[in-house]
Structure 1
Amino acid sequence: MIEDYDLIVSSFQSQYGIRLSREIHDMPWEEFKQMLIGIAPDTALGRIVAIRAEDRKEYLENFTPEQHRIRNKWKTRHAEFIKNHTSKEQMDAQLDAMKMAFMRMAGLGGD
């Protein structure tokens, strides 16, 4: 979230007319969170979040090089976070659960 601070500031200004640098010190955390959750897709942050979250092949094929760069940077950072905050045992358990789910979907039991 720290690396998105400028996007958050810009989005609060454009959507709510709030200058965070002046108002954040008096704003309760709950209010800030609610406003952040409500950020619209047509704001600076909303556009970046949409790029980061896009997984549909037909949309990705039409991404500009800059959009691909933004998305790839986010995916790499997210994968690194997961790697650094998930134990091997947790990863193995997650993979086993996925394997069982796929086996059940294929009608192979998986029990």
Structure 2
Amino acid sequence: MKIIIIFVKRKEENKWYDLIEDWELIEASFLTQYGIRLRVVDDMSWNEFCTLLSGIMPKTPLGQIVSIRAEEDKDILKNFTDDQHRIRNEWRNRNNPINDMTDEEKEKQIKEFEKMMASMFG
């Protein structure tokens, strides 16, 4: 049986992984954690898939990459290898919401921030 899956990407929901770009990691993680080979599954609902994906643990291929991409602790970052820094920086540079904003939107956000600061401290 052939399975066709259509993904709707929402950046704000999947901040640290991408269903299409990270598909191989997702497949490997499902096999590692659940023993499920996604390429041969023919009866998994989208809701079940999403539930299982949200439960992926750090000791899976996707979990390891997500941990690198999401790391904020400066002490941990100091000990990152060059490859870990590359993975983290490439992801963050590619998925920076400012990159998608027009100059007008950026200016509007700055004005709103200035207004908020003035009302707090003005």
If the length of structure 2 is used for normalisation, what is the TM-score? 0.73
> How is 1:11-50 mapped onto 2 (pairs within 5 angstroms)?
11-23=29-41, 25-50=42-67
CA distance in 2, matches of 1:13, 1:36: 12
RMSD, matched Cα = 1.9
1:95 partner amino acid: I
If the length of structure 1 is used for normalisation, what is the TM-score? 0.80
CA distance in 2, matches of 1:29, 1:51: 27
CA distance in 2, matches of 1:64, 1:17: 30
2:121 — aligned with what?
108
Structure 1 residue 14: deviation in Å? 0.8
Structure 1 residue 3: deviation in Å? 1.5
Q: Which runs of 5+ in 1 are unaligned?
A: none
CA distance in 2, matches of 1:27, 1:7: 18
Q: How many residues align?
A: 104
1:99 — aligned with what?
114
Could you give the per-residue CA deviations for residues 33-75 of structure 1, whole angstroms, max 9, x where no partner exists? 1111111111111111011011221111110011001001101
Could you tell which deviates more after superposition, 92-101 or 60-69? 92-101
1:60 aligns with 2:77: yes
